[in-house]
Amino acid sequence: MPGKKKPAAKLDAIEVSAVIPADAKRLYEGWLDSKAHSDFTGGEAVIEPKVGGKHTAWDGYISGVTLALEPGRRILQSWRTTEFPKDARDSRLEVLFAKAQGGTRITFKHTDIPPGQGESYKQGWDEFYFQPMKRYFSRKKPRAAS
């Protein structure tokens, strides 16, 4: 019918989690630290660790802004990759930290993803974040306070 708008495609949303062998404080601080984030992913990250601060990861493939911080508990960021359509709004990534047997359960609630991209990011979170984080934090123990 003339004048009838085509409905917008439904945005993807995913939730994934894993137990990482480290306490929540170390994981939270590592996520917001440019060097640690770069070290555990293997791609360059530049992070301004404050609300309103910009972040990039994986050599600029990922970018966004930190929207909320609850130390040791929660990080909320706007998030997009170079694969997002130019006119797509940023997605939202909520990173949650909870004590678990063997370390900390880290959960990614990733919403407002462009249609059809969710499954790819679901696999990516495991392959490019959870697995490298498990390796990094299992071998890198915190230094004892002197």
* 95 domain residue, yes or no: yes
CB 75 within 8 Å of CB 37: no
3-state SS string for 132-144: HHHHHHHHCCCCC
* 102 domain residue, yes or no: yes
* 80 domain residue, yes or no: yes
Domain count across the chain? 1
Scanning the structure block, which residue is given the tokens 């493939």?
Answer: 61
Taking the model in full, what pTM does it have? 0.88
pLDDT in tens, 10-19: 899 999 999 9
* 144 domain residue, yes or no: no
Dihedral-angle region of residue 64 (phi above 0 means left; psi in -120 to 50 means alpha; beta otherwise)? left
Task: Read off the pLDDT of each residue in 61-77 and give the average, rounded to a whole number.
Answer: 98
Is 70 buried (19+), middle (13-18) or exposed (0-12) by CB count in 10 A? exposed
Domain that holds residue 54: 12-139
* 2 domain residue, yes or no: no
CATH number at residue 134: 3.30.530.20
30: tokens are 């590592």
132: tokens are 């490298």
pLDDT in tens, 86-136: 999 999 999 999 999 999 999 999 999 999 999 999 999 999 999 999 999
